[in-house]
Amino acid sequence: MSKSTTVFALALIGLSSTALAGGPYVLGDGNSTATFAVDSGQIAWEVDGVSQLFAQEFYFRRASDTREHRVDSTNLSLDGVFTTDTNPFTDTRHDTIGQLYSDGLGLEIETRFSLLGGNAGSGMSDLAEQIILRNNTNATMSLSFFQYVDFDLGGDTFDDQGRIVGGNTAQQTDNGIFLSETVVTPLPTLFQMGSSNDLTSLFDDNAISNLDGTVSYAGDVAWAFQWDITIGAGQSFSISKDKLITPAPGSLALLGAAGLMTRRRRR
């Protein structure tokens, strides 16, 4: 067991009320719930009882691979899951989840999600995310890492508008709802906005695929980010992202979003 795995296991023993396998795992905070499965990524995000997310998945490709592989308990070993409650005095549901996967060859992939719901009826919710890739070998490791997201805002599929701004921010609107995802650090190498069918086919085509830089799409919107990285021996690579759902348009929605983010910073 690597040092990082040991630390994660200690966290699991001290903080978890969930088992290593099974699930799904449901986070809750304020007006929101988010659901995760060990074999298929994030599978739901509800805000004020309305389903907003169809799927979020992560993929990776080592330098020696001939295709992308999804980060799940089928392609990797699930070494740990923990859920915690960071605000037990105001909401007794667990609002944070961590999952640790490994390939048995020195690569570890840890995902962490923290849900911050808004007030009932506000239509606002925030999900902070961190992904940590660790190289536990004695040699440098080159790989590509991908995030794929398919939101169906307002619970329907075919009439969303999406765009990518600045190479690191995805925006989507539908049904009076505005969604933004910002990659805080580091800037993705490549990105692509498109249809959910085209992007899922890209990852499931049993061949090496790279994103093409498309910045906008209308319809059944989905998007992906790609990081091409080299990790030194014994080193790690961290990705930090944040997703925010608010009513749109209007200055009141933006004001409320600012208040929601202030709550997160003070937590």
157-172 tens-digit pLDDT: 888 999 999 999 999 9
pLDDT in tens, 81-95: 999 999 999 999 999
pTM of the predicted model as reported, rounded to 2 decimal places: 0.87
Q: Give which of 148, 131, 159 is closest to 202, Cα–Cα.
A: 148
Confidence tier at 14 by pLDDT (50, 70, 90): very low
Is 70 exceeded by the pLDDT of residue 259?
no
Count, residues in the chain: 267
Burial class (CB in 10 A: 0-12, 13-18, 19+), 221: buried
Confidence tier at 1 by pLDDT (50, 70, 90): very low
- For residues 73 and 55, is the Cβ–Cβ distance under 8 A? no
Higher-confidence residue: 19 or 41?
41
pLDDT in tens, 28-44: 999 999 999 999 899 99
Query: What are the b/e assignments for 95-133, b being 16+ CB within 10 Å?
Result: bbbbbbbbeeebbbbbbbbbbbbbeeebbbbbbbbbbbb
Which domains, from first to last, does the chain contain? 3-266 (2.70.98.40)
Omega of the bond prior to 247 within 30 degrees of 0, cis?
Answer: no
Query: What are the b/e assignments for 8-40, b being 16+ CB within 10 Å?
Result: bbeebeeebebebeebebbbbbbbbbbbbbbeb
Q: Give which of 177, 225, 222 is closest to 199, Cα–Cα.
A: 222
